[in-house]
Amino acid sequence: MTIDAFQLYGTRLVDPPPVRLRAGKLEADLTNGNLRTIRYDGTEVLRAISYLVRDRDWGTYSPEITDLRIEQSDNRFAVAYRARCEGPDDTRLVIDVRITGSADRLDFEAEAITETGFETNRCGFCILHPIVGVAGSPATVEHVDGRIVATRFPDVIEPWQPFKDMRAITHAIMPDVQAECRMEGDTFEMEDQRNWSDASYKTYVRPLALPWPYQIAANQPVRQKTSLVIRDIGGSTRHPPAAASGGAIKLELGARTSTMPDIGVIVTPEEADATLSAKSVLSEIAPQELLFHFDPSAGHGVDALTQFAMLAAAHRGRSTLEIALPCTSSPSSEVAEIAHQMRLAEFRPDAIMISPSVDRQSTPPGSTWPECPPLDEVYTAARAAFPGIRIGGGMLSYFTELNRKRVPDGQLDFVSHCTNPIVHAADDLSVMQTLEALPFITRSVRAIYGDRPYRIGPSTIPMRQNPYGSRTMDNPSGARVPMANRDPRHNGRFAEAFALGYAIRVLDAGLECLTLSALSGPFGLIAGPAEPTEQGGRRPLFNTVRTLSRLAGASWQACVSSSPSEVLSFVARDAAGARLHVVNLTGEERKVDCGACRPADSGKELLLAPFATVVLQLAD
């Protein structure tokens, strides 16, 4: 089956296929000069070894690669190339790279040099360990001073670095097989990247407690090396899963069951007019919640609230006002002024989600916390200014910020945060892999806040606000750019599949509400002016959000996939009966065996198109 790339990705630019490197049982994929999906005997050992250069806003450079040479034989491979980064003010950085692999060892060496001096927040290796099957498992860490400590990978997500001053880390990848990852040339530490919904633990160069950005001096080489050593004691051979060997992915009914969450749609003042103009489309979706964004520091005032009141009146569901409180004066005076403006606009939402504006920015380890009134004072002021309205707190940014700044929830009716899948990487594989981290995030929230009502969103592929720098990244060419305020895949079937996969991955959280889009604009379900699709046209994501909105309040039952990184599913039950919802998370066809779920009107095997979503009626 051939499908136009634009339908899948919203762009005809596609990620180039990786080069598969093999040496005996050791395999790795070479992509843009870095190594992905490093496997031993079919089991993923490391998610990636990458040499990365980041700018002062934590944006990642895409270096020009030249002089690429690849050599392969049965038991060895070798790669060499030169990479060049162009920085601001005509600064340049050149990196010479050498990668070698044998049946039980992988070495990745790099030497960076600049003739001009080069400013960066980070320059060096990032090593990613996978999370599925690794979280909570034993590890041995060797520190730079020679100490060796037996420990474990974090299970509940750590807000700070679990391991510091690292020289090496070793873990078991299967019975009798150990993998040691050794880092040379600097001091390394690990952060729990599940904070950002990355599906990895990241070991990176240069401790965050050191100043950044920093300057690489002219004509002073920076040399680093990462080595992976496999110790196979038993010599056992593992059989790959059915999907990897070309068989069908099996779906089976699980035991877990609960209720589908309500679905929200975000509305900003900038998109209020367009949303009002598309009221009929909004009615067709019928979300249970409109989430209105209000930021006095951005000039939002009575006019915005008046538009919100008009939309709320036309909407048959509930409404929530999320407030980025400036906190430049007392919280009581600021919320009193917002309450006054709401009365003038005749706008009374069902709930208020309030958070200090400054808390949208991240405070990395070792940094000074910005000045902010005590959160209890903010919530007390909101209670007084908005009597009879539910008050929520948490973060308008991501779980990272909520995990690092635990909000006091005694006065809160619900807790909320967002996620974003392109904080650190924006390739197709990395974005879809972020879905693996969502159950860990929601379980960690439950570990902190118990059974407090819990909301997530807006969570979209494009980034609405950058907590880690001064801006989101513009993306006029429609590329795959980390931290970009527009992403082409939002226009394609990729986003439709991603959103359904997202909803499935958070079902266990017992969410009160899930928000995955706006109606219009760069995060919207319908295209606006200057978009690659026809203005007013419905993006494929529309289908997922409408389906989820119609399922709100229905009961769901878990469905276990033999390859959840490729295919996810669940069963929804309501007055119309039981239906199996299946999504292909890959850009290739996948064969699915759903016979154990007892479909009523089709054979037991499906052939799912790339990023396809399918609904099957089940037998009674």
SS (H, E, C) 360-410: HCCCCCCCCCCCCCCHHHHHHHHHHHCCCCEEEEEEEEEHHHHHHCCCCCC
For residue 315, the tally of other CB atoms under 10 A from its CB is 20
* pLDDT score, position 491: 94
| DSSP letter (8 states) at residue 11 | S
CB 24 within 8 A of CB 41: no
* pLDDT score, position 291: 98
| DSSP letter (8 states) at residue 420 | -
Taking the chain (620 residues) in runs of 10, the rounded mean pLDDT of each run is 85 91 96 96 96 90 94 95 96 97 97 96 96 97 97 96 97 95 97 97 93 94 97 68 67 96 98 94 96 97 98 95 97 98 98 96 82 96 98 97 95 98 94 98 97 97 92 92 94 97 98 97 86 77 97 97 97 92 97 90 84 92
Residue 221's φ and ψ, nearest 5 degrees, are: -60, 140
Among 15, 57, 33, CA closest to 423: 57
* pLDDT score, position 240: 56
* pLDDT score, position 246: 58
- Which positions ≥6 away from 564 have C-beta within 8 Å? 436
How many whole angstroms separate alpha carbon 64 and alpha carbon 556?
A: 48
How many whole angstroms separate alpha carbon 81 and alpha carbon 530?
A: 39
H-type alpha helices, 197-330: 272-277, 279-285, 302-314
How many whole angstroms separate alpha carbon 210 and alpha carbon 216?
A: 14
Question: In sequence order, what are the beta bridge partners of 52?
Answer: 124
CB 318 within 8 A of CB 288: yes
Residue 54, CA atoms < 13 Å, CB-side half-sphere? 23
How many whole angstroms separate alpha carbon 588 and alpha carbon 184?
A: 38
The helix (H) or strand (E) run that includes residue 505 is: helix 493-505
How many whole angstroms separate alpha carbon 620 and alpha carbon 429?
A: 37
- Which positions ≥6 away from 166 have C-beta within 8 Å? 141, 142, 143, 144, 183, 187, 188, 189, 190, 203
* pLDDT score, position 72: 95
Question: Helix or strand or coil: residue 618?
Answer: strand
- Which positions ≥6 away from 259 have C-beta within 8 Å? 510, 553, 554, 555, 556
Strand blocks (E) in 74-153:
76-86, 92-102, 105-113, 118-120, 122-129, 138-143, 148-152
* pLDDT score, position 317: 94
Among 1, 3, 11, 2, CA closest to 428: 11
For residue 533, the tally of other CB atoms under 10 A from its CB is 16
* pLDDT score, position 239: 53
How many whole angstroms separate alpha carbon 66 and alpha carbon 49?
A: 19
Question: Helix or strand or coil: residue 589?
Answer: coil
Question: What does the DSSP assignment read for 43-95?
Answer: EEEEEEEEEEEE-TTSPBP-PEEEEEEEEEETTEEEEEEEEEEE-GGG-EEEE
How many whole angstroms separate alpha carbon 497 and alpha carbon 189?
A: 34
